[in-house]
Amino acid sequence: MKREEALNRSSLKSSVRFAKSVVLWEIMSSAGVGPLCFIKSKVSTAEGGELYFSDVYSNAPISESLRANKVLWGECLSGALWWEDLVRLAEEVGFSKPRLVTASVISVGNAELEKLLGGYKFVSATYRLFKLPKHSEKERCLVMYDGNITGLEEKFEFDAGYIFKVNEVMEVDGDLAKILKNSRFADEFTFQTQAQGNTTPGSCCAKPKVVPASPFKLAEQLGSASVASSTGLCCGPQESCCK
């Protein structure tokens, strides 16, 4: 913007362009505005792109009366998205089913606010979302991590259920197989169909941990060793199988 234009507020219309959508390339993280972007269907990314989504979530839809409470809103509580709405909205705007990475309980730490909130509970949770080709194959298979990601040469912690160890064969579900084959991770794995794996005598494969869909249950499972406080802030072993 030219200096003389900066002094003239009416020049903003001709000098500033307002984007109609937000394009996300590779990994991005939410800063408290993520749910709003999803609700307005403003988030888009190229096929194969990834959205790393970390935010505060509630155990039920927040009532309008609580949303209108400025104190609760300022504490990033009454503006929290119900975690089940995140899953639904993400898929509605074209992302894969969110993969839960981690979760921890948020303590309110204020008796008056807790009384206002009643039975509402909150967690801080992180999800990975991917934009994938609509008609790509989704079939359970066996994968082996090659260990070529810098800094992750020994193991790759993908989400709460899947930890890939280098050169270890692991069974993955159809959703994750589709993600790995159609994202930036495609070259980091060797893929085998289950039929191919069954033809190898004595072959063994690792299986993922059983992870609950709810971030609240995952937070309980993880033990929530460090419970986060909201006030003043914004925002099982793996099994193996041998054939």
Q: What is the pLDDT of residue 100?
A: 96
Does domain 141-207 fall into CATH 3.40.5.100? yes
Domain boundaries, the chain: 22-134+212-235, 141-207
Dist. CA 70–CA 89, nearest whole Å: 25
User: Per-residue pLDDT tens for 114-132?
Assistant: 999 999 999 999 999 998 8
CATH superfamily of the domain spanning 22-134+212-235: Vaccinia Virus protein VP39 (3.40.50.150)
Query: Percent of the chain, pLDDT > 90?
Result: 46
Average pLDDT in the chain: 78
User: Per-residue pLDDT tens for 191-237?
Assistant: 988 766 554 555 578 888 888 999 999 999 887 444 455 554 444 44
* In 98-222, alpha helices (H): 111-117, 174-181, 194-198, 215-222
Dist. CA 215–CA 86, nearest whole Å: 11
Q: Could you list the mean pLDDT of each consecutive 10-residue stretch along the chain, which spans 243 residues?
A: 51 49 42 49 68 90 93 90 91 89 92 93 93 84 95 95 94 93 93 68 75 94 59 46 48
Q: Write the single-letter amino acid at 79.
A: G
Quote the pTM value.
0.73
